[in-house]
Amino acid sequence: MDWAPGYRELAPPVAFRREIHCLWISVTPAHEGIQTPVLPDACSDLIWQSDVGGYVAGPDTGPNPALLPAGTVLVGVRFRPGVGGAALGVPLSELLGQRVDAADLPVVPARRLPGSLPPGEAMRRVAGIAAELVTEHPPDRLALEAARQLGRPGERADVVAGRLGVSERQLRRRCQVAVGYGPRMLSRVLRFRRFLSRIDAAGSAADLAGIAADVGYADQAHLTRESTQLAGLPPAALARARRG
């Protein structure tokens, strides 16, 4: 496994790809700390940090600054939208924008994630615990399917609710438990993640207006409002920052 400085994602075990988006590693350079904003992605994470131990990152609705000392190693498992509430044993609306010690969540065996672990062993344990959590506490399948459908351009919460055979109110309640917020906010965050994926892939050649239209924004002004609220930067500045 590559423990060089930087951030990288790994595919989850095949048996858990419906519930787990990825495993990931983040290593801060030994000679300097970093501060970087974590942007909303509708996911929740089980994380181990060197010298700290295990904690959970709840879903965000705006940029959440992360300050990491020099030489910090993080390993994590990212639960897909709609999975974290059941897996972690708490309505995700209670963890909105929070970073919570694993010991404060009864279903998470925090004692198995001391900060003194070697990183490779920490990754093995975090992956194993996540697999146990999604097996013992399976997700709300309706919320999981709603998240999948709302991830498509042009989908609307009321249409998805009707397609799933529930009222908008019930869909909102179940999303708040499983995802952390209602379907409209979920749709906004997933659309923004589509935009980020496209600008990351395009690099300096990104046509922001064209990408905005493709991923479901009404116009450039709509994208600018959403980017400023969700990332703290207008889209052109955000694109430059991510290239850097």
User: What string of H, E and C letters represents the secondary structure of 116-163?
Assistant: CCCHHHHHHHHHHHHHHHHHHCCCCHHHHHHHHHHCCCCCCHHHHHHH
The reported pLDDT for the residue numbered 2 is 85
Low-confidence ranges of the chain (pLDDT < 70): none
Give CA–CA dist 177/200, Å, rounded.
31
Q: Give Cα 72 to chain centroid, integer Å.
A: 20
Dump pLDDT digits (tens) for 190-199.
999 999 999 9
The reported pLDDT for the residue numbered 204 is 85
Instruction: Give the number of other CB atoms < 10 A from CB of residue 114.
Output: 14
Indicate the DSSP class of residue 177.
Answer: H
The reported pLDDT for the residue numbered 5 is 94
CB 108 within 8 A of CB 129: yes
Buried b (16+ CB within 10 A) or exposed e, 10-31: eebeeebeebbbbbbbbbbeee
CB 155 within 8 A of CB 139: no
Give CA–CA dist 130/18, Å, rounded.
13
Q: Please report which residue ranges of the chain form alpha helices under DSSP H.
A: 84-88, 119-136, 141-150, 157-164, 168-178, 183-202, 208-215, 220-231, 235-243
The reported pLDDT for the residue numbered 36 is 85
The reported pLDDT for the residue numbered 125 is 98
The reported pLDDT for the residue numbered 200 is 93
